[in-house]
Amino acid sequence: MHYAKITERLQGLGSDKWAIHIEGKERQSRGDELIFLSIGEPDAAVPKAIMDVADRQMRSGRTRYSNGRGEPQILRALSSMYSQRTGRHVSPSQFLFLPGTQTALYVAFMGVIDLGDEVLLPDPYYATYEGVIAAAGGIPVPVRADPDRGFHLSADDLARKIGPKTRALLLNTPGNPTGTVFTSDEIARIGALCRKHDLWIVSDEVYATLTYGNTVFVSPFDDKALEERTIVVSSVSKSHAMPGFRCGWIAASEEFCERVLPLSETILFGSQPFLEDATAFALENHFPEVDAMKVSYERRAKALIAGINGSRAISARMPEGGMFVMVDVRKTGLSGDDFARRLLAEEAVVTMPGESFGLGGAGHLRVALTVDEEEIAEAARRIKRLAERVALQPSR
C-alpha cells in the first residue's frame, strides 16, 4: 500500500522518545512501586472554581458546535490578557483557539514553512519540536546551547546557522527541558537578527507564568516591532494545571490568523464551548491554587538540588522557570539514556534522558517536579546513590 511522505518524515519522532517512561508504566502495571519524574503533567488539582464553571456551562447546554476561531468570550479574555501584558491593544481577531499548544505548533508551522525550509531550533528542545517541523516538510537546524552557560543561546550562535533556506526560529522560554528564561537583552538581539533575515519567530510560551526568584518572563510578541513576525503558542495546561482540557491558542498578527484560519478549520472545526468558557474564566481570574502550585515547584527544585549537592559525579542548577531540572551526569561517563535506564532498573526512578531532547541534552536527565517534596528528596537520594556507585566502578 502507498503511504504519504509525511509518515516517512515522522518515523522515530513520536512516542519513541518516551521509551523509558513507557517502560516505567508497564512495570507499574505489574505492581512495581516507582517514582515518576518523567512527564510534565502537573500533579495539582484544577482550581475548583474553574471546574465548577466547566460543569455548569456543560450542563447549561454549552455543548454544541463552536466556530473555527473561538467563542467570543475566550477571544475577549485573550485580548484583555495580552493587551495588559504588552501595554498595547491586541485585538480579539489576533487569536485562534486550539486544542492545546501541540496543535497550535502544528498549525503555526504548517502556515509558515514549505518543503525543504529550515527552522532554527535551540538545542536541547522539547521532544515534539522535530516532529511538528518535519510534518510541515521543514528541516530542523539545531543550534547547541551550552549547558555550562545555563543553556542560554546568543544571537551570534543563531546567526552562524542561518542559510538561504532558513525561514523561522522556534523559541521556547521558559524552556523545556532546560528551565532557561531568555532575558530582555537576549530577546532584543534575537529579534533584531530575525528582522534582519526576515524570519518568523514561533514562541512557545506555555510556561510563561512559571518563573522563579527575580527572573522576569519576556516575549518577542511584547515588542511592537516584532509583532508581525511572532507567533505565540500557549495554553492553560501548565499555568492552571489543566492538561486534560486541551485548551490552547495562537496569538499573532491579524493577517496571520486570517491566513491560517482555514487550515485550523480543516484540522478541528471548533472546540467545545463549555471548555472555552472555563478557559476564559481561568484567564480572567486569580486563583490561590495556582500561586501555591508555583511555590511548590520552586520548593521541589530546591529540594532536588539540595539532595544532589555534594556529589562529585553529578550536578544541577536551579531552573529560571518551568517545571523541570536538568541533572548533569556527564562525569559518570554514562550517556543520559544509559543513566536513565539504570536509574529505572536499579533505583525505581523514572526520568527522561537528555538525549530525548536533542544532542544538546546529551549527558543529562530531565527531572519533572511533579511529586511532593518528600518524594523529590527521596528521588534525589537515589539519583545521587546511583551516580556515586557508577563513579566508583573502574572504567573499561
Residues 261-290 have pLDDT tens digits of 999 999 988 899 999 999 999 999 999 999
> In angstroms, rounded to a whole number, what is the distance separating the alpha carbons of residues 202 and 235?
14
> In angstroms, rounded to a whole number, what is the distance separating the alpha carbons of residues 200 and 189?
15
> In angstroms, rounded to a whole number, what is the distance separating the alpha carbons of residues 266 and 280?
24
Instruction: Please tell me the class of the 48-284 domain.
Output: alpha beta
Q: Alpha-carbon dihedral of residues 158, 161, 164, 165, nearest 10 degrees? A: -90
CA-to-CA separations, 243 to 44, 100, 231, 337, in angstroms, rounded? 11, 8, 21, 27
Sheet holding 324-328, edge to edge: 315-316, 324-328, 364-368, 352-353
Sequence-distant (≥ 6) Cβ neighbours of residue 115 within 8 angstroms: 137, 138
**Predicted confidence pLDDT, tens digits, the chain (396 residues):** 999 999 999 998 888 889 999 999 999 999 999 999 999 999 999 999 999 999 999 999 999 999 999 999 999 999 999 999 999 999 999 999 999 999 999 999 999 999 999 999 999 999 999 999 999 999 999 999 999 999 999 899 999 999 999 999 999 999 999 999 999 999 999 999 999 999 999 999 999 999 999 999 999 999 999 999 999 999 999 999 999 999 999 999 999 999 999 999 999 888 999 999 999 999 999 999 999 999 999 999 999 999 998 899 999 999 999 999 999 999 999 999 999 999 999 999 999 999 999 999 999 999 999 999 999 999 999 999 999 999 877 654
Position 263 scores a pLDDT of 94
Angle between helices 373-392 and 288-308 (to 10 degrees): 20
Position 396 scores a pLDDT of 46
Domains 5-45+288-391 and 48-284 share a fold: no
Q: Please name the helix (run of DSSP H) or strand (run of DSSP E) that holds residue 202, with its range, or none.
A: strand 200-204
Could you state, in order of their start, the residue ranges of all structural domains in the chain?
5-45+288-391, 48-284
DSSP letter, residue 172: E
Q: Which of left, alpha, beta for 47 (phi over 0: left; psi -120 to 50: alpha)?
A: beta
Position 14 scores a pLDDT of 81
Q: Are residues 202 and 169 in contact, defined by beta-carbon separation less than 8 angstroms?
A: yes
The CATH architecture that domain 5-45+288-391 belongs to is: Alpha-Beta Complex (3.90)
List the grid coordinates of 267.
Answer: 484540522
> In angstroms, rounded to a whole number, what is the distance separating the alpha carbons of residues 29 and 250?
37
For residue 64, how many other CB atoms are within 10 A of its CB?
Answer: 9
pTM of the predicted model, to two decimals? 0.95
Q: Are residues 112 and 260 in contact, defined by beta-carbon separation less than 8 angstroms?
A: no
> In angstroms, rounded to a whole number, what is the distance separating the alpha carbons of residues 387 and 312?
9
List the grid coordinates of 257.
Answer: 490568523
